Amino acid sequence: MESADTPMHAKVQDTTREARPAIGHVVVVAGAPASGKTTLIRRCRAGELAQLCGQLGIPPGASCAAVNANALDQLDGLQAEVLYVHYDLVAGRAEDGAHPRCRDIARITDTLSVVVLAVPAPVLSRRLRWRLARRLGTALLKPWGAGARGLPRHVRKLRDTSGRPQLCGLYREWDRAQAELDPGRALWVDTSIRRLRSSPYDFEALARLF
């Protein structure tokens, strides 16, 4: 079994192979950039969010691992009772608004849960602008080209989530993709408040937050 300190970006074996990875439960943590996905996954794995884990049916002490959604085409013999999938709604969407990586997620487990993270548009904008500012500062300290490599991606994320209409559209596209995934459990969490509170997934309730 994988230990709880498996790296966030651990690779996972090719899901198109006949043998599937030994994963008991996949939990997709989906949200806009800077909505708190990495932090929530880290806290779940550290046992700090027992109530949320209980709602998801994750027993205390379960072996777990985490992976970015863009690494689901590689599974290096991963074994875990719980696999957290970090899913960025901007990076994961195709030009037509579809989420093709959902097919890869559906292939690797029969037990699937989804946690959707959301924050008000002004809060998200501040977080992304701060990230972009830090990235620009880092870029200035590196040779030109090397430091600027990731900047277009950060600018795109800021553009695609810059206001309530953009956020509503982004999450509406995910709502359709999630319906096709048909998870056994689905929750949403407002990560703009210190004391996290999870609720049964409801797109209309979530959209009112923006």
Instruction: Give the pLDDT of residue 144.
Output: 47
Within a domain: residue 9? no
Greatest pairwise CA separation for the chain in angstroms: 48
Within a domain: residue 43? yes
Number of domains in the chain: 1
Mean pLDDT of 7-14: 42
Sign of CA dihedral 172, 98, 64, 153: negative
Contact 27, 83 (CB under 8 A): yes
Residue 14 has pLDDT above 70, yes or no: no
The region, left, alpha or beta by phi > 0 then psi within -120 to 50, assigned to residue 120 is beta
- How many angstroms separate the CA atoms of 148 and 145, rounded? 5
Within a domain: residue 137? no
Instruction: Give the pLDDT of residue 160.
Output: 67
pLDDT digits (tens, 9 = 90+) for 100-118: 999 889 888 889 999 999 9
Confidence of residue 78 (pLDDT cuts 50, 70, 90): confident
**Which CATH number belongs to the domain containing residue 44 in this structure?**
3.40.50
Query: At 171, which amino acid appears?
Result: Y
Within a domain: residue 2? no
Query: At 132, which amino acid appears?
Result: L
Instruction: Give the pLDDT of residue 107.
Output: 85
Residue 60 has pLDDT above 50, yes or no: yes
Instruction: Give the pLDDT of residue 164.
Output: 87
Closest CA to 175 of 134, 146, 207: 207
The alpha carbon of 83 is separated from its chain's Cα centroid by a whole number of angstroms, namely 12
Residue 6 has pLDDT above 70, yes or no: no
Within a domain: residue 196? yes
Q: Which domain holds residue 30?
A: 22-122+166-209
Residue 154 has pLDDT above 60, yes or no: no
The helix (run of H) or strand (run of E) holding residue 27 is strand 22-31
Mean pLDDT of 146-163: 58
Structure tokens at 96: 């037509």
Percent of the chain past pLDDT 70, that is, above it, reads 76
Within a domain: residue 103? yes
Range in 65-69, 76-80, 187-191 with the lowest mean pLDDT: 76-80
- How many angstroms separate the CA atoms of 16 and 107, rounded? 8
Confidence of residue 124 (pLDDT cuts 50, 70, 90): confident
- Name residues whose C-beta falls within 8 Å of residue 3's C-beta, 6 or more positions apart in sequence: 63
Contact 204, 173 (CB under 8 A): no
Within a domain: residue 41? yes
Within a domain: residue 74? yes
Instruction: Give the pLDDT of residue 3.
Output: 42
- The count of other CB atoms within 10 Å of the CB of residue 184 is 12
